[in-house]
């Protein structure tokens, strides 16, 4: 593992992932601003030609509209105008939630207030699910169809991956949205554990030296003995054991998030599959001159940006996944160090039951994992 791998998560690859993801999100925003809004304006210009009232309407070019046709046109105007206004209103709302959920799954450092606003937004959607004002499922599918937001398919993929079943909107939407709120709240709470970890790492840095052995570290037993003896042993060991448990649970959560994102991004039935499908459809329309080249190029930029991001994401792999400053590989090594400190303490104090539990529950597994990813 050595130093190169230990610092891997802080390498330029991690920075590049964030940059490419930002490019992808910017490409989606540009597509909405310059393509979708242009299409909406064109449709609005047609809808405004339908009068709000037919009382003073005069036939043009001898076209005689029946009352049934007039009623139908009025219905179309009301429906389409309402839908376009809703899409315009909810575009930022939905995409903001979607981007923040992805960010939480990636364990990016996020502003607490922004995360709180996201939970409020999701709560509002849950309340709106019972509303007759508009059909949220139709809204989400329309945003997905127009390549504005993939939030519906994110929810669907999450259900399939974590619940091992196909997403059924009526039964599952509230459950998954509520779980997204829990994910965000867990993120806020665990930020405190990362702060504690940084303090412990700073305190115990002198106890470990980089080594050429497979595990990457060599413990300085004399320094560790002095460290333990000058501390309040019971309280410090309790603190370390609680942090160890929290980090191990976090490590497992990180791996599950990573595996989910790999699944969600895949090209067989995931995000890349949908981008490829839309790309081919738009290419055909472009060849047939049914859409402008600007429209096709704008979507192609989305697809190419995502492919670049996905490739970099896969290059970093699980070692580089997670928070920029504390990626997965560093969490693994922090767990290993805590295990060795506790192991040393239990041995010196002849706490053999605690020692056996530590080894069976954490140390053996974490050593195997280090072997596997080096």
Do residues 299 and 285 touch, judged by C-beta distance below 8 A? no
Q: CA triplet 337, 342, 344: central angle to 5 degrees? A: 95
Quick: pLDDT tens for 270-310.
999 999 999 999 999 999 998 889 999 999 999 999 999 99
What secondary structure does DSSP assign to 160-214, as a single string? HHHHSS---HHHHHHHHHHHHHHHHHHHHHHHHHHHHHHHHHHHHGGGEEE-SST
Least confident stretch, 63-67, 109-113, 161-165, 294-298: 63-67
* DSSP bridge pairs for 208: 219
Quick: pLDDT tens for 8-51.
444 678 788 889 999 999 999 888 888 887 777 777 677 777 77
Torsion of CA 326, 332, 335, 337, to 10 degrees: -90
Least confident stretch, 9-13, 196-200, 231-235, 353-357: 9-13
3-class state of residue 110 by DSSP:
coil
Q: CA triplet 372, 373, 374: central angle to 5 degrees? A: 100
Residue 67, pLDDT > 80, answer: no
Q: CA triplet 141, 38, 132: central angle to 5 degrees? A: 35
The pLDDT value recorded for residue 336 is 93
Residues 326, 334: Cα–Cα separation, whole Å: 10
* DSSP bridge pairs for 218: 209
Mean pLDDT of 332-360: 93
The number of CA neighbours under 13 Å toward the Cβ of 349 is 16
Q: Residue 220: left if φ>0, alpha if ψ -120 to 50, beta else—which one?
A: beta
Report the chain's terminal Cα–Cα distance, integer Å. Answer: 5
Domain boundaries, the chain: 2-373
- Cα 148 to its chain centre, rounded Å, is 17
Residue 62, pLDDT > 70, answer: no
Residue 290 in tokens: 């049914």
pTM of the model: 0.85
Average pLDDT, the chain: 86
Given the structure tokens 């389409």, which residue do they identify? 80
């Amino acid at each position: 593992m050595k130093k190169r791998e230990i610092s891997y998560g802080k390498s330029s690859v991690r920075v590049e992932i964030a940059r490419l993801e930002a490019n992808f999100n910017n490409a989606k925003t540009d597509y909405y601003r310059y393509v979708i809004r242009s299409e909406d304006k064109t449709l609005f210009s047609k809808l405004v030609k339908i009068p709000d009232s037919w009382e003073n309407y005069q036939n043009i070019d001898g076209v005689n509209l029946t009352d049934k046709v007039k009623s139908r046109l009025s219905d179309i105007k009301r429906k389409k105008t309402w839908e376009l206004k809703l899409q315009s209103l909810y575009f930022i709302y939905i995409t903001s939630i979607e981007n923040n959920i992805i960010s939480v799954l990636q364990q990016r450092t996020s502003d607490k207030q922004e995360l709180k606003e996201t939970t409020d937004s999701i709560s509002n959607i849950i309340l709106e699910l019972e509303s007759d004002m508009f059909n949220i499922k139709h809204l989400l599918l329309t945003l997905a169809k127009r390549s504005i937001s993939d939030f519906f398919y994110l929810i669907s993929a999450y259900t399939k991956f974590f619940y091992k079943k196909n997403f059924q909107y009526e039964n599952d939407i509230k459950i998954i949205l509520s779980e997204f709120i829990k994910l965000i709240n867990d993120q806020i709470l665990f930020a405190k554990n990362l702060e504690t970890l940084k303090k412990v790492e700073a305190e115990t840095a002198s106890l470990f030296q980089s080594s050429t052995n497979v595990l990457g570290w060599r413990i300085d037993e004399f320094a560790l003995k002095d460290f333990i003896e000058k501390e309040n042993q019971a309280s410090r060991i309790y603190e370390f054991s609680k942090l160890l448990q929290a980090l191990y649970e976090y490590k497992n959560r990180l791996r599950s998030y990573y595996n989910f994102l790999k699944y969600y991004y895949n090209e067989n039935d995931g995000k890349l599959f949908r981008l490829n499908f839309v790309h081919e459809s738009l290419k055909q329309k472009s060849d047939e001159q049914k859409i402008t080249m600007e429209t096709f190029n704008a979507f192609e930029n989305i697809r190419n940006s995502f492919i670049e991001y996905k490739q970099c994401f896969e290059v970093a792999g699980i070692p580089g996944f997670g928070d920029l400053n504390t990626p997965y590989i560093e969490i693994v090594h922090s767990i290993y160090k805590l295990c060795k400190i506790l192991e040393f303490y239990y041995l010196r104090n002849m706490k053999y039951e605690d020692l056996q539990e530590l080894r069976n529950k954490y140390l053996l597994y974490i050593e195997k994992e280090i072997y596997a990813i080096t």
